Structure 1
Amino acid sequence: MIPLAIDDFRVDQMLANTERWVAINSGTRNLLGLRNMADDLANCFAILPGTLSLIDPEPVETVTNSGCIEALDHGQHLHLRVRPDAPVQMLFTGHMDTVYGTDHPFQSARWMENGTFNGPGAADMKGGLAVMLAALEAVEASHLASRIGYEVVINSDEETGSLSSNGLIASAARGKHAAFTYEPALPDGTLAGARGGTGNFSLVVRGRSAHAGRNPEQGRNALVAAADLAVRLAAAATPTLSVNPAKIEGGGPNNVVPDLAILRVNFRPRSGDVIEVARAAIERIAREVEQSHEVRVTPHGSFNRPPKPIDPGAARLFNLVRETGSMLGLDVGWKATGGVCDGNNIAACGVPVVDTMGVRGGAIHSVEEFLIPGSLSERAALSALSILRIAEQGVL
């Protein structure tokens, strides 16, 4: 029986860490804020044994609103490796970035009358990082610590798809028995189970400019072609594939036929085989629009997060977490969700993962985002005891 020497969590330290991290603006594009956040995290996680590094991001390209391909800078990622030769190996991941850039109106935190903590990134997922750190400190204090090795990856670009950290995550996932990611649970503690996938594409449409009054027939309107492209792609949606044409950029003066437009579109496949169907639809519809409007269409993008089903390994891990919750007096359940996170990519590596081991909270990605402070110690206990049970059992 694992001794429950994990009740006396330093809730004050978890709260202090969360409040300090929330005060650092670390929107994905705020490289200075991400640097400050990474440095603070490195100082905090240095309390754990092992080798800690700040890893440079992998190269990422983006399509600008002028239709050009440019390099896109990202912040560094934190990587910690502890006891790589231990018999049981796990992966713990989180992200330091938020959706709130320096120009967003939501910049400061406050305590609400109902006792919740409202702040940018409080639940998603700076509170989750505090939970991860506290749980690992508790594991290190256990007599079972020597049985478990692990890697920690805290990336700087999860909110925009982890394009500069996917390779690091995949490398860290290799050979792991299980993984926890510290996205927030729902306010009632429900975890995310199966997840769909996602893909983001920019389709560059190039036509031919002309005078809108003198010789419009000689032009090829890229904006009209992009609109047709959006309508056709939306019509390709099925019950297992949602398609969201989100934005068209381009155009100019009213008296000029526009020769450039860019369609930004998001796809949400519910299963892996649907990804190939979606890719084929993008290519087919792009060629149809080229022929109909005498333009050139160039797709850029990828399906960067594959769907995450609940396979037998994931089911065993979820059941272990649920049983652990019962030991702590918690009713742990889960349900499918349309959202995505790094748990999708970890699962694609063949590693069972529960990706909502963070705080209870809600209204994420809005000015009403909140954290339930009592969940800090609750979820840290759930993580620590689950990790120790995995260490004790050796297998799921």
Structure 2
Amino acid sequence: MSPLRTEQHAVLDRAADQPMLAQTLDWAAINSGTAHLAGLSAVAGKLADAFAALPGTVSLLDADPVESILPDGAVRISERGRNLHVAVRPEAPVQLLLTGHMDTVFGVDHAFQTIRTLDDGRINGPGVADMKGGIAIILATLKGLEASPLAARIGYEVVINSDEETGSHGSAALIARAAQGKAAALTYEPAATPEGLLAGARPGSGNFSIVVTGRSAHAGRNPEDGRNAVLAAADLALRLARAKGPNLSVNAAKIEGGGPNNVVPDHAVLRINMRPRTPEDETRARNHIDAAIAAVAIEHDVHVHLHGGFARPPKPLDAAAERLFGLVRDCGARLGQTIAWAPSGGVCDGNNIAAQGVPVVDTMGVRGGAIHSGEEFLIVESLAERARLSTLVLLELAERGRP
């Protein structure tokens, strides 16, 4: 790639000069755990005000209701926070999608609630890397783009959802709609390592709650009349674990149920996660689940009901995705940034976007680390670095049309 042109320098400088750190600290100071609707509402309002600086329309859209299974097997319908949606120049020849999330894993009662500056200048705080810093980079990038003559060639949608940390169940339909017809997408999860490594291929992820209903009886007088739901759930967990292999991880996380030692338990709920590497592996996992449930139901004479599914499809790297990663790498080289990528065992909204046939790089956010823990940190200089990088990627996409 050629060196930066004078007009590109000006656009990138505009992006890098945006008040990203101040915005990150402001947004991260409000608890926005996925279940804390009041906090999410406050953050969403601030984000809507900030993104109103862009042309186009800014909306806060209600999330779809989310179903979950309680320990007693009952179905609970939960609300999620509203999702930010921005649409700019839908008539432009090049259409892109930029996504992020406003929620964190830290609930309102979690001990990790404060922000502090560490001795080496890093910022420690809930969500500063994952991903309030990434949201600030999105806004800075787009403000930089709007200062370029190439802006007229690019239309874009921005989705900042409120439930990524729990699987995006309430926002998956919005993300799928926004991905339609896009030439490429960028998602602003933090880099995979503090050095800036990007996450390449990702497995899919399925979360399941399997309700087992048996029959209670006295454990001493007539145990043969009972149908032990806990035993059936344990057998099911073992059968599902046999599907584990290089391309499929299986984690039986919890069995809930049972009661007094002298009662054959008639109820249990098995919680399990599966992560297939490819769509074919997902199909094999589904078939294994169905076969295991059928066998356990017959052998233990119990009723088994499956809830959940593969909310995150596998994200292998196809040719279009490889080209987009190559473009990011080459833009990084022009900026003196070394960009590389490697497979990741984690999942995110990039999985859902890729499932729509759109190439996506989903770790365009800050450099930092220790996410999902009280040690989470943001490397401050990465805000400007990543803003320059993603702005240059957008300028190149404006000229090329596609990766």
TM-score (norm 1): 0.98
**Corresponding residue of 2:336:** 329
Shift of 1:114: 2.1
**Corresponding residue of 1:61:** 67
Could you tell me whether the CA contact under 8 Å between 1:24 and 1:33 is conserved in 2? Answer: yes
Shift of 1:94: 0.3
Shift of 1:13: 1.7
**Corresponding residue of 2:358:** 351
**Secondary structure in 2 matching 1:75:** coil
Which amino acid in structure 2 is aligned with residue 133 of structure 1? L
Greater mean deviation of Cα atoms: 230-239 or 42-51: 230-239
Shift of 1:385: 0.9
**Corresponding residue of 1:39:** 45
Which amino acid in structure 1 is aligned with residue 366 of structure 2? V
> Whole-Å Cα distance in 1 between the matches of residues 360 and 75 of structure 2?
35
> Relative to structure 1, is the Cα distance of residues 108 and 31 closer, same or farther in structure 2, using a 3 angstrom cutoff?
same
CA RMSD of aligned residues (A): 1.2
Identify which of 235, 245, 249 aligns with 1:238.
Answer: 245
**Corresponding residue of 1:49:** 55
Identify which of 217, 222, 226 aligns with 2:229.
Answer: 222
Shift of 1:10: 5.8
Which amino acid in structure 1 is aligned with residue 9 of structure 2? L
Which amino acid in structure 1 is aligned with residue 79 of structure 2? D
**Corresponding residue of 1:275:** 282
Shift of 1:207: 0.7
Task: Report the number of matched residues.
Answer: 396
Identify which of 368, 377, 380 aligns with 1:361.
Answer: 368
Could you tell me whether the CA contact under 8 Å between 2:94 and 2:155 is conserved in 1? Answer: yes
Identify which of 382, 396, 402 aligns with 1:375.
Answer: 382
> Given the alignment of the two structures, is residue 70 of structure 1 paired with residue 76 of structure 2, yes or no?
yes
Shift of 1:341: 0.6
Which amino acid in structure 2 is aligned with residue 101 of structure 1? G
> Whole-Å Cα distance in 1 between the matches of residues 156 and 196 of structure 2?
25
Cα deviation 1:45-94 (Å, max 9, x = unaligned)? 11111011111111321111110122121111010000000111100000
Identify which of 100, 107, 123 aligns with 2:106.
Answer: 100
> Given the alignment of the two structures, is residue 193 of structure 1 paired with residue 200 of structure 2, yes or no?
yes
Q: 1:251-330 residue pairs with structure 2 within 5 A?
A: 251-330=258-337
Cα deviation 1:347-366 (Å, max 9, x = unaligned)? 11111111000000111111
**Corresponding residue of 2:154:** 148
Which amino acid in structure 1 is aligned with residue 365 of structure 2? G
Could you tell me whether the CA contact under 8 Å between 2:14 and 2:143 is conserved in 1? Answer: no
Shift of 1:229: 1.0
Could you tell me whether the CA contact under 8 Å between 1:11 and 1:376 is conserved in 2? Answer: no
Identify which of 119, 137, 142 aligns with 2:143.
Answer: 137
> Whole-Å Cα distance in 1 between the matches of residues 213 and 367 of structure 2?
47
**Corresponding residue of 1:91:** 97
Could you tell me whether the CA contact under 8 Å between 2:20 and 2:140 is conserved in 1? Answer: yes
**Secondary structure in 1 matching 2:111:** coil
**Corresponding residue of 2:187:** 181
> Whole-Å Cα distance in 1 between the matches of residues 126 and 93 of structure 2?
39
> Given the alignment of the two structures, is residue 162 of structure 1 paired with residue 168 of structure 2, yes or no?
yes
Which amino acid in structure 2 is aligned with residue 178 of structure 1? A
Unaligned runs of 5+ in 2: none
> Whole-Å Cα distance in 2 between the matches of residues 8 and 58 of structure 1?
37
Identify which of 8, 16, 34 aligns with 1:3.
Answer: 8
Kindly report structure 1 stretches of 4+ aligned residues shifted beyond 3 Å.
8-12
Shift of 1:107: 1.2
**Secondary structure in 2 matching 1:101:** coil
Which amino acid in structure 1 is aligned with residue 99 of structure 2? T
**Secondary structure in 2 matching 1:323:** helix
Unaligned runs of 5+ in 1: none
Could you tell me whether the CA contact under 8 Å between 1:202 and 1:265 is conserved in 2? Answer: yes
> Whole-Å Cα distance in 1 between the matches of residues 18 and 176 of structure 2?
34
Which amino acid in structure 2 is aligned with residue 293 of structure 1? H
> Whole-Å Cα distance in 2 between the matches of residues 211 and 239 of structure 1?
44
Shift of 1:395: 2.6
Shift of 1:387: 0.4
> Relative to structure 1, is the Cα distance of residues 157 and 242 closer, same or farther in structure 2, using a 3 angstrom cutoff?
same
> Whole-Å Cα distance in 1 between the matches of residues 123 and 309 of structure 2?
36
> Whole-Å Cα distance in 2 between the matches of residues 4 and 317 of structure 1?
22
> Given the alignment of the two structures, is residue 395 of structure 1 paired with residue 402 of structure 2, yes or no?
yes
Which amino acid in structure 1 is aligned with residue 96 of structure 2? M
Cα deviation 1:195-241 (Å, max 9, x = unaligned)? 11111111000111122233222211111111111111112212111
> Given the alignment of the two structures, is residue 126 of structure 1 paired with residue 144 of structure 2, yes or no?
no
> Whole-Å Cα distance in 1 between the matches of residues 256 and 120 of structure 2?
43
Identify which of 196, 200, 207 aligns with 2:214.
Answer: 207
TM-score (norm 2): 0.96
Cα deviation 1:169-205 (Å, max 9, x = unaligned)? 1111111111000000021011011111111111000
> Whole-Å Cα distance in 1 between the matches of residues 70 and 329 of structure 2?
46
> Whole-Å Cα distance in 1 between the matches of residues 273 and 17 of structure 2?
40
Which amino acid in structure 2 is aligned with residue 229 of structure 1? L
